[in-house]
Amino acid sequence: MVKLIYHGCINLSKLPNLCEAGTELIKFLEPEYQELEDPPCCGSLLFHTDEEGARKNCNEVYDWLKKNNVTELTTICAGCYNYFVTFYPQYIPEFDVKINHISQFLSKPEYMQMLDLKYPGEKKIKITYHDPCHMKNARIPIFEEPRVILSNIKNVDLMALEWERELSTCCGAGAGVYSSFKEVSNFTTADIFRQVKKSRAKILITPCSFCYVSFKRLESEKNPRFKILKLEEFINKLKKGEVIE
Amino acid sequence: MTSGKELYENNKEKLKKLLDETSEEYQFADFWGNLASVKKHREFDEDTKEYVDKYVDKLRPMREELVNNLEKYTEQAMKSIEKTGAKVYLAKTNEQAQKLFLQELGDERTLYKSKSADAKEMGILDACKKNGIEVIETDLGDVLVQMFEYELPSYQLAPGVHFHPSQIANKIKEKYNVDVEPNGPAIVSFFRKTHRPKILNANISLTSANAVAADDGSIVLVENEGNISLLTRLPPKHIVICGISKIVPTVYDALLQVNMQERWNTLIGSYISFIRGPSSTNDVYGQKVIGMYGAQEVAIILVDDWRTKAVKENSFLKEFLHCISCKACNYVCTASRAVGNIYASKMGLGACGIIKDYIHNGIESAVKNGLFLCTSCENCKNFCPVQVDLPKIMRELKKIAVSKNLAPPPLKSYLQNITTKKNPFK
Ligand code: SF4
Ligand code: SF4
């Protein structure tokens, strides 16, 4: 019976700091969680583009999980969460690995208590949260858990974005569009930044690595007056008592 | 066949136009990105919300009943329409629809038409052009598009909505040498004066239908401007052309469908017409005489083309038949908001435009018109009153495109990496 930390390819390849933050948090709360070597890609883009490829990959990943006795996994990637929860059962009806997004994992009351999160600055800080498509459209949608986590942090005010929950704006990076047409995310991310500015938040939190990459690219261009942090990155910084400038 | 690389470069070239503030593409995208939003169009006033909440759940089952029994309801609709005294045809293909239409038009060389996405999709406008028939648009949006000779796709419910009043006033000066103030009332008043008398003299009109009731043959049309009311009553002959997916089982379903088309878009039209055949009277000794004040002749061309085939083959396109053409998905589309009418075909903006393009022009054309700009955000499905699974249809189209080597090269290399290296980013 293995509980697996499944980072997802984008994090493993491009965002090692997020993998570290996720691992630190998960292992702190449940030390039996493990990382395995060379995890296969969940298939992501194949679900949009290649029926047979997606089916084959699903089966291979399922076999890999079974071979390694994985019964439960927690991922820091909203995309992996969506594909596992929504698409895998369509290809493998008997799919029985329990899938958690890190927000579901962290929001358990006992873990919130263990973490006892507090923003260390002198003044209260305003933060805001963006609902990604991968979480709002998943077969089991996630809206509440991240809000439970964030609104329970002491010294933090969670501000609502103008468009949130089911109405939230897509970052424009999904389905591989980011690889070919950044023009879409140029517009949508700018629109999300406008909403963040309106919310007066100093930090934008995202639970999705694709949104994160999309936001970060525009951050370097637009220099907004707020920080962009991934959920596990933010929580891990608070756990360590880091002040976020 | 063009390669994925060439199509990608073509897409990129078009997208470059968004950087040029004077380009038509920039102007449309700028307008659309601001006008269209999830929030703006999903915040119903109380009255609309009450209506929508009460009735929206009835739509999908009604549409499923129709789609699952499309042939049966088409047959029933044909019989019911015939009983109304209208002529009715079932065109198997768009080409046949064009022939039937030209046959009904006879020697008439001028056609007055209302807004009709179906007529465009079925190639009626091209057939008119080819046969030297002058088409006079009467919907103000189409009138503007015609005046500007605007060739790019635009929003089908209001095709000229992106033109600025000052642009319109300048164009009127250029075309008609008339000074019109650049504001809505002045512009409307100008076209009321120029276009209303034309409709009064029309011989043959063409409209589509918002719904066709199988049980009593009613052709149901919704409008704001009054042009449809005039076009369907004043000319001696009225031709209707629409796809068989506009059929609904009963006249009550027709009312549900047209009301939802309006309310879901927070629009309330001024007129709803239920047309059952030509005008008539029984006032002379109880004898029924056809052709009193309204149309003397009504001809209805129902078009099948791809529709029953999709049902019979249970193909992924069957899902598309549930669509009631409310166009709400246009407002909420991520790609459309970002790039405007670059993600569109002649048959409409967004996913609906791309899917229709695939149906009629094939996969290469769909890719050329921006298939791979769809982010799969699912807004279109989430905000569709019938929950039409457009994202799933788009995924199917992408699968076809990838199998034909038409994917953008960066995406293709990601896909190869997933298969060979088990990681798209390696
Ligand atoms: S897909 Fe849905 S939202 Fe779009 S036009 Fe059709 S019915 Fe309306
Ligand atoms: S899934 Fe594609 S077509 Fe639908 S709203 Fe999103 S970008 Fe537009």
Tell me: the pLDDT tens digits for A92-139? 999 999 999 999 999 999 999 999 999 998 889 999 999 999 999 999
The answer as to whether A74 is a domain residue is yes
Q: What does the pLDDT read at residue A168?
A: 93
Per-residue pLDDT at B268: 81
Reading the block at residue A209, the tokens are 């690595």
Instruction: Identify the domain containing residue A220 by its residue range.
Output: 110-239
Q: Which domains does chain B have, with CATH numbers?
A: 4-35+327-421 (no CATH), 46-138+203-308 (3.40.50.10420)
Q: In this predicted structure, what is the pLDDT of residue B46?
A: 81
For helices B140-148 and B165-176, angle between their N-to-C axes, nearest 10 degrees: 60
Q: Please compute the mean of the pLDDT values over residues A20-47 and round it to a whole number.
A: 96
Dihedral sign of CA atoms B376, B380, B383, B389 in order: negative
Q: Is the pLDDT of residue B41 over 60?
A: no
Helix or strand run (H / E) with residue B241: strand B237-243
Tell me the pLDDT tens digit for each residue of A162-187: 999 998 999 999 999 999 999 999 99
Q: Is residue A172 part of a domain?
A: yes
Written as six digits, the tokens of B75 are 């047959």
Distance B371 CA to ligand 2 centre (A): 10
Name the pLDDT band for B36 (thresholds 50, 70, 90).
confident
Q: Are residues A168 and A53 in the same domain?
A: no
Say whether B378 and A13 touch across the interface (CB within 8 A): no
User: In which band, very low, low, confident or very high, does the pLDDT at B420 lie, cut at 50, 70 and 90?
Assistant: confident
Question: Is the residue at A196 inside a domain?
Answer: yes
Question: For a pLDDT cut of 90, what percent of chain A falls above it?
Answer: 94
Least confident of A16-20, A169-173, B45-49: B45-49
The answer to whether the Cβ–Cβ distance between A13 and B11 falls below 8 Å is no
Q: What pLDDT score was predicted for residue A122?
A: 82
- Residues A65, A23 share a domain: yes
Q: For all residues of chain B together, what is the average pLDDT?
A: 94
Q: What is the CATH number of the domain that holds A114?
A: 3.40.50
Q: Decide if pLDDT at B310 tops 90.
A: yes
**Which atom belonging to ligand 2 lies closest to the Cα atom of B379?**
5
Burial string for B317-344 (b: 16+ CB within 10 Å, else e) reads: bbbbbbbbbbbbbbbbbbbbbbbbbbbb
pLDDT over 60 at B39, yes or no? no
pLDDT digits (tens, 9 = 90+) for B69-107: 999 999 999 999 999 999 999 999 999 999 999 999 999
Q: Is residue A20 part of a domain?
A: yes
Q: Give the containing element (helix H, strand E) for B209.
A: none
pLDDT (tens digit, 9 = 90+) per residue, B168-219?
A: 999 999 999 999 999 999 999 999 999 999 999 999 999 999 999 999 999 9
Tell me if A9 is assigned to some domain.
yes
pLDDT of residue A97: 98
Domain boundary among A91, A106, A121: A106
Nearest CA to ligand 1 atom 2: B384
CA distance B105 to A106: 69
How many residues are present in chain A?
A: 245
CB A99 within 8 Å of CB A203: no
Contact A173 B374 (CB under 8 A): no
Alpha-carbon gap: B310 to the closest alpha carbon of chain A (Å): 20
Domain tally, chain A: 2
Distance in Å, CA B380 to ligand 1 centroid: 7
Q: Please list, in sequence order, all residues whose beta carbon lies within 8 angstroms of the beta carbon of residue A172, skipping any fewer than 6 positions away.
A: A178, A184, A185, A186, A187, A188, A189, A214, B334, B335, B338, B375
Band (pLDDT 50/70/90 cuts) for residue B424 is confident
Question: Which residues in chain A have their CB less than 8 angstroms from residue B338's CB?
Answer: 172, 183-188
**Helix, strand, coil % in chain B, rounded to nearest 5:** 55, 15, 30
Mutate to test the pocket of ligand 2, among B343, B352, B380 (most ligand atoms within 8 A of CB): B380
Residues A174, A213, single domain; the answer is yes
Q: From CA B196, how far away is CA B83, in angstroms rounded?
A: 32
Segment A219-230, tens digit of pLDDT: 988 999 999 999
Do both A101 and A114 map to the same domain?
no
Q: Is residue B371's pLDDT more than 80?
A: yes
Both A196 and A211 in one domain: the answer is yes
Domain boundary among A106, A141, A164: A106
Residue A244 lies in a domain: no
Residues in chain B whose beta carbon is closer than 8 A to a beta carbon of chain A? 8, 11-12, 15, 18, 33, 37-39, 42, 334-335, 337-339, 372-379, 382, 395, 398-399, 402-403, 407-411, 414-415, 418-419, 422-426
User: Which domain-ending residue is among A106, A127, A156?
Assistant: A106
**What's the pLDDT score for residue B47?**
82
Sheet with A2-6, edge to edge strand ranges? A2-6, A70-75, A98-101
Q: What are the backbone dihedrals phi and psi of residue B137, each rounded to the nearest 5 degrees, phi first?
A: -75, 145
pLDDT at residue B289 tops 60: yes
Nearest to A180 by CA among B7, B26, B134, B104: B7
Do A124 and A202 fall into the same domain?
yes
Q: Given pLDDT bands bounded at 50, 70 and 90, which one contains residue A77?
A: very high
Q: Is the pTM of this model over 0.90?
A: yes
Of B377, B408, B422, the CB nearest to A133: B377
Closest to B374 measured CA to CA, from B408, B399, B398: B398
**What are the residues facing A29 on neighbouring strands?**
none
Residue with CA at minimum distance from ligand 2 atom 3: B351
- Asked if the interface predicted TM-score (ipTM) of this complex is over 0.85, the answer is yes
Mean pLDDT of B290-310: 98
Helices and strands (H, E) in chain A, number of each type:
14, 7
What is the per-residue pLDDT for B42?
63
Is A207 within the bounds of a domain? yes
Of the candidates B344, B335, B338, B340, which has an alpha carbon nearest to the alpha carbon of residue B25? B340
Q: Would residue A31 count as lying in a domain?
A: yes
Residues A123 and A225 in one domain: yes
Query: Do A55 and A142 fall within a single domain?
Result: no
Q: Do residues A74 and A148 both lie within one domain?
A: no
Residues A132 and A227 in one domain: yes
Least confident of B38-42, B183-187, B239-243: B38-42
Q: What is the band of B123 on the pLDDT scale with cuts at 50, 70, 90? A: very high
- In this complex, is the C-beta atom of A181 within 8 Å of any C-beta atom belonging to chain B? yes
Same domain, A116 and A213: yes
Same domain, A169 and A223: yes
Interchain pair B372, A162: CB under 8 A:
no
pLDDT score at B407: 95
pLDDT score of B74: 98
pLDDT at B263: 85
Report pLDDT digits (tens) over B379-416: 999 999 999 999 999 999 999 999 999 999 999 998 88
